[in-house]
Amino acid sequence: MNLCVYGASSDQIERVYITAGEELGRQMAARGHGLIFGGGATGLMGAVVRGVSEGGGWSLGIAPEFFHKEGVLSDQCSEFLFTKTMRQRKELMEERADGFIMTPGGIGTFEEFFEILTLKQLGRHEKPIAILNTGGYYDSLMELLAGTAAHGFMSEACLNLCAAFRKPADVLAYMEQEKGYKI
Please give, one letter per residue, the 3-state secondary structure of the chain.
Answer: CEEEEECCCCCCCCHHHHHHHHHHHHHHHHCCCEEEECCECCHHHHHHHHHHHHCCCCEEEEEEHHHCCCCCECCCCCEEEEECCHHHHHHHHHHHCCEEEECCCCHHHHHHHHHHHHHHHCCCCCCCEEEECHHHCCHHHHHHHHHHHHCCCCCHHHHHCCEEECCHHHHHHHHHHHHCCCC
The answer to whether residues 2 and 35 touch, using CB atoms and an 8 Å cutoff, is yes
Can you give the pTM of this predicted structure?
A: 0.96
pLDDT at residue 181 in the model? 72
Each of the 183 residues of the chain gets a pLDDT tens digit; together they read 999 999 999 999 999 999 999 999 999 999 999 999 999 999 999 999 999 999 999 999 999 999 988 888 999 999 999 999 999 999 999 999 999 999 999 999 999 999 999 999 999 999 999 999 999 999 999 999 999 999 999 999 999 999 999 999 999 999 999 988 765
Phi, psi of 180 (to 5 degrees): 65, 30
